[in-house]
Structure 1
């Protein structure tokens, strides 16, 4: 599905998935210790531009993903905004008490979430599932039996969705001759859920038997796909460091709010 969203490719598509994951985790822990409001603000803007330019995704699906991310980013900070502490009151009604300090802290938490989300969304947009598990097997020494099982299970998700849609269409035809009392509420859910689960279990069992017969064990294997570390990994590391460095320099030389510590 993600490949259908792609409009163009960048060098990040050729970066090893392990490099992307390690840098994403490193950025997550680094962002936790950023307490300068302007630094986080600039970093959010830069990561937003990074997502738009480097993901290579079409505008409509990218816009949908960004809107969803903004929604969850804002909702994650509402508790801190509504029930925070501070001396400069902006709004107060009942137990809701919004202060200038709590509002800024909430926005800071939102921006922290957006930074990680914008940077992290580029990873699935620029990675292929098959290379993820091959990289794990070749560099992290994940057992082939486990890696191929996960790879096969992910490949089965579209099949499950297709079976669900076919069952739904079939039920529409059957319901034309069935009394309404037998196709409402929990009965409708049972008519969809139980056949879908039973089909998935049968397909999973057949797949497991086929993999066992084909020799998908934990023994040593030769790989058709090689997933090495290349110069693109180095470029990606340098680019990530440069993005953070630019945000830090803008925070120093072009501050917006002049808030040095948001804690």
Structure 2
């Protein structure tokens, strides 16, 4: 379900939003310090109302990212090989230093700064509009764009089919109980059955698309025009400027650590 259709940035061209997210995210990959991604996250949260996305909605959609960021911090703190810098905590095998903490925070914040623009784009963009914009504005192949759209639309069906497979096996008395090994085997067999069903559905979809002329190579008409205007170009330029500002703050504070070099 998309949100922010009436917001100033939420109604921009899907390709413009996608390009702006890619530009902003690519800039955050250029540094390893925690300052630039932290500034980027502040910027992303500040422009959130302009996309028509509520902070509660973002938290509900991005909680896996927060959990992953916490996992990155714990992993680096526990298993990092380089323990340079001043010691902050030393309790038995746990040895936390300023160098380790800086690296862990840099990786976690960079992951959030890179991923949040994508969350905003897909939360405010209708998949059909994105496919239309890719065909019209980027000149992508209709076979690729519409095929990707169809695959995206079928993703929710995987959850439903998983539930159906689980209930069907439970009805037949196939239950792992509390045995972890049996649970693992049941999960693997259910996942394999889901994969087989997805491949069969994909084959039927490809055949149906070919039957409707998606591979004919003839010019296609469009039902909904997606225009790339001045405001859309300004969004991309603004994203590049804000990303540059975040990197500039890091450079001025002397914390900039280039990925290469």
* TM-score interval (norm. to shorter): 0.7 to 0.9
**Matched residue, 1:261:** 255
Q: Does 1:129 align with 2:127?
A: yes
Query: Which sits farther off after the overlay, 30-39 or 119-128?
Result: 30-39
**Matched residue, 2:18:** 21
Q: How many residues align?
A: 249
**Matched residue, 1:227:** 226
CA distance in 2, matches of 1:24, 1:77: 25
**Matched residue, 2:165:** 167
**Matched residue, 2:212:** 214
Alignment map for 1:60-139 (pairs within 5 Å): 60-82=56-78, 83=80, 84-93=82-91, 96-139=94-137
Over 3 Å counting, the alpha-carbon distance change for 1:154 and 1:38 in structure 2 is closer
Task: Assess if the C-alpha contact under 8 Å between 2:131 and 2:149 holds in 1.
Answer: yes
SS of 2:119's partner is: helix
**Matched residue, 1:240:** 239
Task: Assess if the C-alpha contact under 8 Å between 1:36 and 1:260 holds in 2.
Answer: no
SS of 1:12's partner is: coil
Task: Assess if the C-alpha contact under 8 Å between 1:145 and 1:216 holds in 2.
Answer: yes
Q: Does 1:49 align with 2:46?
A: yes
Query: Which sits farther off after the overlay, 31-40 or 227-236?
Result: 31-40
Structure 1 position 229, deviation (Å): 0.3
What are the Cα deviations for residues 213-251 of structure 1, in whole angstroms up to 9, with x where unaligned? 2211133211112222023313423543564577578x5
Over 3 Å counting, the alpha-carbon distance change for 1:59 and 1:80 in structure 2 is closer
Name the larger-Rg structure: 1
Query: Which sits farther off after the overlay, 209-218 or 42-51?
Result: 42-51
TM-score by length of 2: 0.75
SS of 2:9's partner is: helix
**Matched residue, 1:255:** none
- Unaligned stretches of 5+ in structure 1? 253-257
CA distance in 1, matches of 2:23, 2:83: 31
What are the Cα deviations for residues 137-193 of structure 1, in whole angstroms up to 9, with x where unaligned? 223332222222222222222233333333333444333xx7989xx6577447744
Alignment RMSD (CA, Å): 3.5
Task: Assess if the C-alpha contact under 8 Å between 1:86 and 1:100 holds in 2.
Answer: yes
CA distance in 2, matches of 1:56, 1:31: 24
